[in-house]
A and B are shown apart, each in its own frame.
Chain A
Amino acid sequence: MRQLRHIIGGLLGASLLLSFASADGEAAQAQAMISLTRDQIIEGAKKEGKLRVVPGHDDTVIPGLVKGFQKKYPFIQTTYGIVTGIEAGQRQLFEMATGTSSADAFSPSSAFFNEYFSKNLIKRYDFRAMSKAGHLKIPLEMIDESGVLVWLGTNTGVITYNSKLVPEDKAPKGWESCLDPYFRGKFSVDSKPNVLAWLSAKWNDEKLLSYAKRLKENSPVFSRGNTRNITQLVSGEVVMNCGMYIHVVKRTLKHDPSAPIKMVIPDPFPMSSHEPEAVYANAKNPHAALLWIEFLASKEGQQLAEEIEPGRGSFLVEGTLANKLSKGANVALCADECRHREEKIMQRIAVEAWGLPKVGASPK
């Protein structure tokens, strides 16, 4: 129901937005890229003295990050907001489009990613140029190809299994195990196959779709969402899951070290850029926002996030879980172009290979 609601809700809200000819937050016109020096950033932030952030991190992580940032920059009074779920993402988008958002730095919701760009809601700060010149210390690989957005985290997919129900000699070893008749009808896959879609960074579409079709022939149990997937696995309803987020597994094991879950790093090892962060086009405190984004990208900021939510830090930052696991692994990193194609690939897997319904597609 919620999904239906946010589909229609988003649509209506956006349509209503069009009726606001007088809204004073009309999107900013396309601007040239802006580049500042370190001194300009610090001076500007000191003058501003305030910052409002709406990061994409989990609610439990944000207060710790804000505290860490305040410690580093005591002259910037920082407050935060939380955007939880797609419904709130819609509200954020419309607040920004009408110029009523108080955010300075924010995380564009992936569901409406293109709209932030098309409505020019992101300030055209050239992170790449500023980082190259040493005015901001952000790893260049974390910066989006647009240059105005920084990917602060990595999502990582693994194969998990119930260690009580699967004997060691039958334990999965990689993607081929998902095709093993031993697991026929006893393993689950998410009906929204993000993790499989990331493999397109290493496999071409033909190979990926062929794999997905063979997976379907092994009678997977389709389920939707992290909670369902992990509960199904721990309860023994299924004995293996092909494509679960690593942070979900780590979080469960953190709370319950005795949970009968083990994970396998498959080859290729799927990863995706995550936690985008940018400066809002109408930000009142844009300089402080730049320092905030730099802090989140720093080792210090990444460690703070990882302490509470292991597995969400960027694999580009030394010491994060994704970084450690990626060493020596055949990483399939879905970034930039792949990230933009991700939804289309996912849809092809779901519809063409698995036969899930989609209006306009040929029913299987």
Chain B
Amino acid sequence: MALTYAETAVAQGILSGVGRRAARAGLVALGFFLLFWLIVLPLLMVVMVSFRSGTPLELGPFTFANYALTYTYPLTYQTLLNSLLYAGVSVAIVMAIAILFAWLVERTDMPFRRLAWALILLPIGMPSFLLTMSWILLLNPRVGVLNVPLRSLLGWLGIALETGPFNIYSLAGMIFVNSITGLTTVFLLVVGAFRLVNQEIEDAAHVCGARKRVTLFKVTLPVLMPALTVATLYKFAGDLNDMDIPLLLGLQKQIYVLPTLIFFSAFYSTPIEWGLATALSSPFILIAISLSYAFFHFIIKQAERQKYVTITGKASQTRRIQLGRWRYPAFGLFLLYFMLSTGLPLLILLWASLLPSYRPPSWQALSLISFAKYLDIMNWPNIGRILTNTLLLGTCTAMLAMAVAFFISWIVVRSRAPGRFFLDAAVFVPHVLPGSVVALGLVFTYLHPAFRWLPIYGSIWIMVAGLLVTYLPFSTRLMNGALTQIHKELEEAGMVSGARRLTVLLRITLPLILPPFVMGFIWVASHAFRSLTIPLMLSTPETETVSVLLFFLWDRNADFSGAAALGILLIVAVSILTLLSRRLVEEAFSGRQRS
């Protein structure tokens, strides 16, 4: 029977509709499969191995022995307490400073705001172990570059000290370095929200007679709660899992946190005691899931009632708060932060990089200065390829991370899809999951006979995938916070006007949250440029990146001066790229707003 043209068209329409639905369902299924494979499966493995004896390649019978040993060991609780103290105090300090800085930059008439932005962004390119090492050189109690003149000064005042006055090898030292290291990330998590605050809400408070301070604490900050919660939870979870700073600074005074206890308990054994390591790691996973649940329950659920909305269909204009005589002192705070986070560490690293091997600054050492270490790096075999790989890795990871995060956050914050809490928790957990877990998940995915045909293994794309999973916790936190501030009436208006959902997302929602989106891009790209674990594990000589070279100089070659030279180049390059991209997007955004 022949079909008429109209019948054929209808049939095609039905079929294409069915096809679209099937494709959409397929995509969703694929997304969940990848999520399961890359994140959930490794988590299950952690839990499983913690209940088994033997080695992972030859697992023994089911046992509670790992937990019994771990949680009857008195030091476990002491280190847990240290971890909570280390993370808790660091978070409190960092949050206070980040909120102050974000407010000054986005809501006040402080001078040199663009410069202030730049000063905050600069530390983003500095690997934490190099920053920690530079503070050791500055503040170690015996020959610290800052301690020696301070001691002389105190001696001149009649206070004789043999060491100090500062000692970086202390819990206070650990918190200090951790705080200045982590400020940029937290700042980026909160600053977008400050920019999106609707002036009308504050105006309403003023009209009701509230003072500036009252408005800030009673009106502005509560509205910013999603972003502040996101930043707090993100920083806290990350600090609990931090080992670089505690190992470098805590070992001397035997101050241990959970990650260092795991290091000493499991890694000083052959075979490595995997059961103990996982039993000790399990709290991290529980904490991550609990934090995700808290965020979902207290913030996302509230956001569904539009509690935190600051951007609506009504036009609004931001008016900056007058600081009066505090304008310049406020900017001084940024200079102080810059000196601590970047200026002083960079100076000492620069000094180290100009010497054949490190020694404290002196007239005698001045005669040894040369650019030899920089020339070594410039002439390093395949340096061009290493730089290209690094650039490609950073840019692709950042683009993908932000795109994926945008869609995931939209599902979590906007949709009513069942299981969206699990989606949010699943993407957050890798934040407390060691990077090599992600890397190994990928190794096994692509080593499996079912996937071996894919041309990913051994290419730069497997590193992109690994970094994507690692940085999704940050990028989704950023997007979650931003999306809770956008009223859904704006999207509804677009839908009512006939636009498709995807069009609405890309043409309405995305432009509204462009500032945090761009900040996320910069953050992910910068971290990908200097990320170590995943490139170290997944790179080949053909896909080597700058961070792999940095690791070689630092760890294998024990060449601190060489590592410092590469660190300086990395910091400068990342800073230039960061500032440039921020400037370009800022201009584009301003242009869009004007038009």
Q: Which A residues form the contact surface with B (CB < 8 A)?
A: 1-18, 20, 22-24, 58-60, 63, 80-82, 84-85, 87-88, 90-91, 94-95, 97-98, 100, 111-115, 118-119, 186, 191-192, 221-228, 230-231, 234-238, 248, 251-252, 255-256, 258-260, 342-344, 346-347, 350-351, 355-361, 363
User: Could you name 7 residue pairs across A and B whose Cβ atoms are closer than 8 Å?
Assistant: A1-B434, A1-B533, A2-B533, A12-B56, A87-B436, A94-B440, A235-B360
The answer to whether A359 and B69 have CB atoms under 8 Å apart is yes
Q: Quick check: B557 and A115 within 8 Å, CB to CB? A: no
B436 contacts A347, C-beta separation under 8 Å? no
Residue in A8, A224, A259, A363 whose Cβ sees the most chain B Cβ within 10 Å:
A8
| Contacts A222-B252, A358-B264; A98 near B447 (Cβ below 8 A) | yes
Answer yes or no: B381 CB below 8 A from chain A CBs. Answer: yes
Q: How large is the interface on B (under 10, 10 to 19, 20 to 34, 35 or more residues)?
A: 35 or more
CB distance from A260 to the nearest CB of B (A): 7
Whether the pair A256, B538 counts as a contact (CB closer than 8 A) is no
Kindly list chain B residues whose C-beta atoms are within 8 Å of the C-beta of A357. 75, 79, 256, 260-261, 264-265
CA distance A224 to B358 in the complex (A): 18
The minimal Cβ–Cβ distance linking B79 to chain A, given in whole angstroms, is: 7
Closest to B73 in A: A359
Among B553-569, those with CB < 8 Å from A are: 554-561, 563
B437 interface contact, C-beta 8 A = yes
Contacts of A63 in B (CB 8 A): 381
Which residues of B lie under 8 Å from residue A18 when comparing CB positions?
A: 56-57, 59
A12 and B541 contacting across the interface, CB-CB below 8 Å = no
Q: How far apart are A242's CB and chain B's nearest CB, in angstroms?
A: 16
Within B406-460, which residues are at the interface with A (CB < 8 Å)? 433-437, 439-441, 443-444, 447-449, 452, 457
**For residue B272, which residues in chain A have a CB less than 8 angstroms away from its CB?**
7, 10-11, 111
Residue from the list B268, B436, B444, B537 in contact with A8, Cβ < 8 A: B436
Q: A237-B143, A251-B557 are in contact. Are A23 and B447 (CB under 8 A)?
A: yes
Stretch at the interface among B238-246, B488-496, B499-507: B238-246
Give Cα A355–Cα B251 distance, bound, in whole angstroms: 12
Supposing A88-B536, A251-B558, A357-B256 touch, asked if A227 and B563 sit within 8 A by C-beta, the answer is yes
Roughly how many angstroms separate A80 CA and B540 CA in the complex, as a whole number?
10
**Does B8 make an interface contact (CB < 8 A)?**
no
Q: Chain B CB within 10 Å — which of A14, A224, A236 has the most?
A: A14
**Distance from A92 Cβ to chain B, minimum over Cβ atoms (Å):** 10
CA distance A2 to B448 in the complex (A): 26
Partner-A contacts on B (CB < 8 A): 41-42, 45-46, 48-49, 55-59, 69-70, 73-76, 79, 133, 136-137, 140, 142-143, 241-244, 247-248, 251-252, 254, 256, 259-274, 276-278, 280-281, 355-360, 368, 381, 433-437, 439-441, 443-444, 447-449, 452, 457, 532-533, 536-538, 540-541, 548, 551-552, 554-561, 563
DSSP class of B's interface residues: helix, strand, loop or mixed? helix
Least CB separation from A340: chain B residue: B270
Contact partners of A342 in chain B: CB under 8 A: 270
- Cα A361 to Cα B69 in complex, Å, equals 9
Q: Whole-angstrom distance between the alpha carbons of A191 and B256 in the complex? A: 13
Inter-chain contact A235/B276, CB cutoff 8 Å = no
Asked if A14 and B252 make an inter-chain contact with CB atoms under 8 angstroms apart, the answer reads no
Given contacts A7-B262, A255-B357, contact A94 B270 (CB under 8 A): no
Q: How far is the CA of A251 from the CA of B357 in the complex (A)?
A: 10
Q: Known contacts A84-B548, A223-B251, A251-B558; can you find 7 more A-B pairs with CB under 8 A?
A: A1-B533, A85-B555, A100-B452, A259-B357, A351-B268, A357-B79, A359-B280
Please tell me if the beta carbons of B277 and A7 are within 8 angstroms of each other in the complex. yes
Give chain B residues whose Cβ lies under 8 Å from the Cβ of A95.
Answer: 443, 447
Q: Closest approach, in angstroms, between the C-beta of B63 and any C-beta of chain A?
A: 13
Residue from A5, A237, A248, A256 within 8 A of B533 (CB atoms) = A5
Contact of B73 among A115, A192, A363 (CB under 8 A): A363
- Rounded to whole angstroms, the CA-CA distance of A350 and B444 in the bound complex is 35
Q: Are A11 and B49 in contact (CB under 8 A)?
A: yes
Shortest CB-to-CB span from A3 to chain B, Å, is 5
Residues of A within 8 A of B248 (CB): 224, 228
A4 adjacent to B243 (CB under 8 Å): yes
Among candidates B59, B137, B269, residue contacting A343 with C-beta atoms closer than 8 Å: B269
- Nearest-CB residue, chain A, relative to B140: A237
Q: Are A94 and B447 in contact (CB under 8 A)?
A: yes
A62 to chain B, nearest CB (A): 9
| Chain B proximity of A262: nearest CB distance (Å) | 14
Docked pose: A343 CA to B268 CA in angstroms: 7
Q: Which residues of B lie under 8 Å from residue A14 when comparing CB positions?
A: 55-57, 274
- Asked if B268 and A5 make an inter-chain contact with CB atoms under 8 angstroms apart, the answer reads no
